[in-house]
Amino acid sequence: MAYPSFQNTDGNSELYSALVTAAQYAAYEQSVARQMVTVFDAPLNTGKSLQVPVWSALAAEIISDEATSTLVNTGSTSATINLAEHVVYRKISDMLRDSSASNVLAALGDNAGRAIAESLDTQVFSKFADFSGSSTAIAVGSFSKDDIMDRVATLRGNKITGPFYCVIHPTAANALKKALTGSSSYTASGQFADNILQNYFVSQIAGCQVIESSLVPYASGTGVATCAVFSPSALGHAMRGGIELETMRSVKDRATELSVKAVAGAAVLQASHGIIMNVDLVA
């Protein structure tokens, strides 16, 4: 989903259009979390929290001979998405701007956009720990496709049709790729293994899109990465507006202060629509 951009400057805003464009493009290209969750737009002037209704599951009854139907209560709960600011603040001196052979503003925009994209993804992935399922860690040496397939099967058994996504740490992904391309694997001589060996990328397992990201929560003290398998209905992500740029001229410092900002939040909508998958990366 594209991120709109806004400018709020005290003058000469046309000088910073390259920065806005670069920041918006970098954030759009780098962020993956918003492609896998339920996205909400947060309107202006509506507070810092969004309440999302979550409807309970219903069952239809089969009626014959024009019998009276049974009243079913429509129950719902709510999930709250709290918004926060993701900010990158920089100060660029006139000397640096005018001495560099490259476009400093465009470079700063790209750098800021990537930082905000990582912050957005980190915010979403931090909610994996709230999913259902066992928290017992899987040793990375034994981590395999079965761990993903079993969780997909559990979600399907709960009448969740997908699509499904799996986000794992690159170290866990490396172990998975080795298992899928090993000589004893039934996929080793097939096109699936060839694609992994050629592109070092796992596309889908059991209809579940596999994404590797170093931004999944990782406890350095225990070596455990909190990965997960989930459907988009498990997580919600709200964003107010888009990437915003604000500049202010500092005559005393002969520099321009630049602030790039996004306002966003994430929350678990339905914990049962995602399953935690802790992987011990050092075991």
DSSP string, 5-68: EEEEESS-GGGGHHHHHHHHHHHHHH--GGGSSEEEE--TTS-SEEEEEEEPP-------TTPP
**Where are the strands (E) in the chain, listed by range?**
5-9, 38-41, 49-55, 76-82, 84-93, 138-139, 164-168, 204-205, 208-212, 218-219, 224-230, 235-250, 255-268, 274-280
Q: For residues 88 and 260, what is the distance between their CA atoms, to the nearest angstrom?
A: 5
User: pLDDT-derived band of residue 238, with 50, 70 and 90 as boundaries?
Assistant: very high
Mean pLDDT across 194-199:
74
Point out which residues pair with 268 in neighbouring strands: 235
Per the model's pLDDT, the better-predicted residue between 5 and 89 turns out to be 89
Mean pLDDT across 131-137:
87
Both tokens assigned to 12: 């000469």
User: pLDDT-derived band of residue 196, with 50, 70 and 90 as boundaries?
Assistant: confident
Q: At a CB cut-off of 8 Å and minimum separation 6, what does 33 contact?
A: 120, 121, 123, 124, 125, 237, 266
149: phi then psi, degrees, rounded to nearest 5: -60, -40
Q: Does domain 5-55+76-280 bear CATH number 3.40.50.10860?
A: no
Mean pLDDT across 209-229:
92
Q: At a CB cut-off of 8 Å and minimum separation 6, what does 137 contact?
A: 222, 224, 278, 279, 280, 283
Asked if the model's pLDDT at residue 211 lies above 60, the reply is: yes
Both tokens assigned to 75: 């129950």
Amino acid at 183: S
> pTM here?
0.81
Q: Domain spans of the chain?
A: 5-55+76-280
User: pLDDT-derived band of residue 147, with 50, 70 and 90 as boundaries?
Assistant: very high
CA neighbours within 13 Å on the CB side: how many for 197?
A: 13
Q: For residues 141 and 223, what is the distance between their CA atoms, to the nearest angstrom?
A: 13
**Dihedral angle, C-alpha 221, 223, 229, 231, nearest 10 °:** 30
User: pLDDT-derived band of residue 53, with 50, 70 and 90 as boundaries?
Assistant: confident
Per the model's pLDDT, the better-predicted residue between 162 and 254 turns out to be 254
Most confident of 15-29, 54-68, 246-260: 246-260
Mapping DSSP to helix (H, G, I), strand (E, B) and coil, where does residue 107 land? helix
Both tokens assigned to 56: 């309970």
Mean pLDDT across 151-164:
92
Both tokens assigned to 281: 């990366």
pLDDT of residue 6: 47
Asked if the model's pLDDT at residue 188 lies above 60, the reply is: no
Asked if the model's pLDDT at residue 119 lies above 70, the reply is: yes
Q: What is the CA radius of gyration of the chain?
A: 23
pLDDT of residue 20: 64
Asked if the model's pLDDT at residue 165 lies above 90, the reply is: yes
Asked if the model's pLDDT at residue 167 lies above 90, the reply is: yes
Cβ count within 10 A of residue 170 = 13
**Dihedral angle, C-alpha 154, 225, 110, 256, nearest 10 °:** 130
Amino acid at 233: S
Q: For residues 181 and 250, what is the distance between their CA atoms, to the nearest angstrom?
A: 57
